[in-house]
Amino acid sequence: MRDVCIVGGGTAGLAASIFTARAGLDTLVIDGGESILARNASLENYPGFPDGVDARRYLQLSREQARNAGAEFELGRVTRVEPVAKGDLEQGFVLETEGGEPIEARRIIAASWSDSEYLVPLDVGRIQRGSKYFVDTDEAGRTAVDGVYAAGRLADEPHQAIVAAGHGAKVGLAVIHDSDANFYHDWVVPEGYFTGRGREVPPGCEEIDDAERRKRDELARTRMLEAFEDPLDEEPTMHPSVEQD
């Protein structure tokens, strides 16, 4: 039984997984295909990239960051979610995937724009607008069903990558809060920031000394230089209804 299963490894799901995995929750991301962001031609409004970034590279690096944080990945489309024990949501949920073994998880984050059909058996509350269904949530991404959350565009957040990522992080924090993880903030601070004031380092936080800070900076710069060295071969995915030669 996983602590959390995130359905959808796009912008919101990846951000959520980075937070839940870093907080020590056993996190599985199930992804059934491609993020809608793979259709973008140049991502130019995501803070931190002054001249933009290749959206596919951003997705690749986010996946790598989630893996580094301890999240695991499985490919497959989730087709159905039900409680393990009817009437007792504390027992968690079982997720069916196309062609795969059923997966059990205590909590679920639906970050699967634009598919929420698999949630129908749970009656989470879906809102139809045109051909799309959004999942009804509170401000932290909690649905009407305890243990089931929704994040990103599926939760009716604005259709922008940074908003989806920020919302994924927020929903990840709600999951951490609702679990029994001992957590204050996910912060890495300089040595002495807490202990220098006679405080213990709070759960979820880490104090690092200057040598460690320089080591991490070196590692981060080396990886980013390597990651951005060559242009990616991948082309943006075209809208399926555009005819191409």
* CB closer to ligand FAD out of 152 and 204: 152
* CB closer to ligand FAD out of 21 and 43: 43
Alpha helices, DSSP H, located in the chain: 11-22, 55-69, 161-178, 210-227
Q: How far apart are CA 152 and CA 170, in angstroms?
A: 10
* CB closer to ligand FAD out of 23 and 78: 78
Closest CA to 2 of 88, 105, 74: 105
* CB closer to ligand FAD out of 61 and 162: 162
Q: How far is the CB of 183 from ligand FAD (least distance, A)?
A: 23
* CB closer to ligand FAD out of 77 and 106: 77
Quick check: helix, strand or coil at residue 10?
coil
Q: How far is the CB of 5 from ligand FAD (least distance, A)?
A: 10
Q: How far is the CB of 101 from ligand FAD (least distance, A)?
A: 15
Per the DSSP assignment, residues forming a β-bridge with 226 are: none
Are 55 and 63 contacting, i.e. CB atoms less than 8 angstroms apart?
no
Q: Look at the block and give the residue holding tokens 């399926």.
A: 240
Using CB positions, name the residue nearest to ligand FAD.
10
Contacts of 220 (CB under 8 A, 6+ apart): none
Q: How far is the CB of 169 from ligand FAD (least distance, A)?
A: 12
* CB closer to ligand FAD out of 137 and 204: 137
* CB closer to ligand FAD out of 2 and 183: 2
Q: How far apart are CA 35 and CA 13, in angstroms?
A: 10
Binding residues for ligand FAD, rule: CB under 6 A, are: 7-13, 30-37, 39-40, 43, 45, 77-78, 111-113, 115, 118, 152-154, 159-162, 164
Q: How far is the CB of 220 from ligand FAD (least distance, A)?
A: 24
Backbone angles phi, psi at 51, to 5 degrees: -110, 20
Q: Look at the block and give the residue holding tokens 């931190």.
A: 48
Could you check whether the bond before residue 42 is cis, i.e. omega within 30 degrees of 0? no
Indicate if the alpha-carbon torsion angle 49, 75, 70, 81 is positive or negative: positive
Q: How far is the CB of 42 from ligand FAD (least distance, A)?
A: 7
Q: How far is the CB of 186 from ligand FAD (least distance, A)?
A: 20
Q: Look at the block and give the residue holding tokens 């140049």.
A: 42
